[in-house]
Structure 1
Amino acid sequence: MIEILNEAQLTRAREAGQLVGTILHTIKGRCRPGVNLLTIDGWAREMIVAAGATSCYVDYAPSFGSGPFGHYICTAVNDAVLHGMPHDYSLADGDLLTLDLAVTLGGISADAAISFVVGDDQDPADVEMIAATERALAAGIEAAGPGARIGDISHAIERVLTAAGFPINLEFGGHGIGSTMHQDPHVSNAGRPGRGYKLRPGLLLALEPWVMRDTAELVVAADGWTLKSATGSRAAHSEHTIAITEAGAEILTLPRP
């Protein structure tokens, strides 16, 4: 299903997106060595509930997962990159942490992710890998607009990630979003320009470039959810929800000023 939102729904999408961006920004500011992943999940729960929103993850039970996710935010550490299930682990100085959050507010969902290094031990290779996903996300957003096609976005993301030297996994990518978290169209992180669905004003997309340092192969952790690099190499992930407008692409998941 591909949804095209009306103006009233777009207003609610902006509110949902701003909430997602603000929660991620707030939690990032609290993350330091010694903070437990379950504490992060608790912070997310508190802020989501206080805003009158609901988590898209608690009851999330797709075919590739192992039962309902049961948590409010995804916390992927080091070699984990997607669907990181919070567990009893305290962050160490130099850990590479990805926070991925999706909420529904006013009947509309928004989804975003950020990666960053915890503490003072900043490995330059980690910093550059994170920056590459952020540049790829910016390129994908720049390629989006009315009349553009999904392949234009995918190709823009691919060019940045490939130029940075990273293999690209094609199993998981971006997606449409609206009244539910995951919708058509799928937005691969590699593709051919001029191909695929033509973008229309009112369409919401979650764009999410992600990479692993030296592999494109994923493995599933023992929790049945967390996806990790097959080689144990570190990984990074950047994501925004955008709205296609008459003027181009509007980023919805920025934090409140």
Structure 2
Amino acid sequence: MRTLFRPCIDLHQGQVKQIVGGTLSDSSAGLQTNFVSAKPSAEYAELYRKHGLEGGHVIMLGPGNEAAAREALQAWPNRLQVGGGINDTNAAEWIERGAAKVIVTSYLFPSGKFSQQRLEALAAQVGRERVVVDLSCRRRSEGGWVVAMDRWQRLTDMVVDEQTLKKLAEFCSEFLVHAADVEGLCGGIDRELVECLGKWSPLPVTYAGGASSVDDLDLVDRLSRGRVDLTIGSALDIFGGSMVRFHDCVAWNRRTELASEHT
């Protein structure tokens, strides 16, 4: 098992963007945007399809993104995951629209408190294998991390630790973890979080936040012992970045997959 590069399509107001995660809120005041694409979401999905990059996540950051999300899913049906506003009333519909899996966060935390009942109901509705639990989080002053909801602005009552991951794993097939404190800053990954996720998670995990070099793929691989995949956003050249070439990430995956075939 080795770390893979996992692609993303972040949508805000119907456009593909890269945003400093910690600045997202209900208003546009204070929002820091690293990149706004002139290309439609479907073009990115087609690029990922061309290079066989499965398991990427399409995240709807607020309202006005459904059409763009549908276009991405239609460009590569049953290979991309979708998240942002997923709940019991629309999860099955997004699967029908072509999502391989649905990514859920805020729905699981009514009034900021985790609802086991809601998670079990969602898993029963679309199948455990179709559910990704988003444990995007912020650091606590006393140490460790707490799951953040509503575009990472509100802290919940759920601590990210080994016990939590094992409990949730019964009702989902994968975890997605944005380190909200470093998301979009290109200042380096949260090494401690990546290492802990590699130790704690019984399921596949994709980590996002702070990646600034193609060497971060090797770093995540070493820290997690190959058990955590990495998403690179703002640093990537296809999102206006200058630190990481998309084709280098594709080459990493190909080398990793070839090595796996020979072991």
TM more than 0.5 = no
TM-score when normalising by structure 1: 0.30
TM-score when normalising by structure 2: 0.29
| Higher RCO by CA contacts (8 Å cutoff, separation 6 or greater) | 1
Tell me which protein shows more helix as a share of its residues. 2
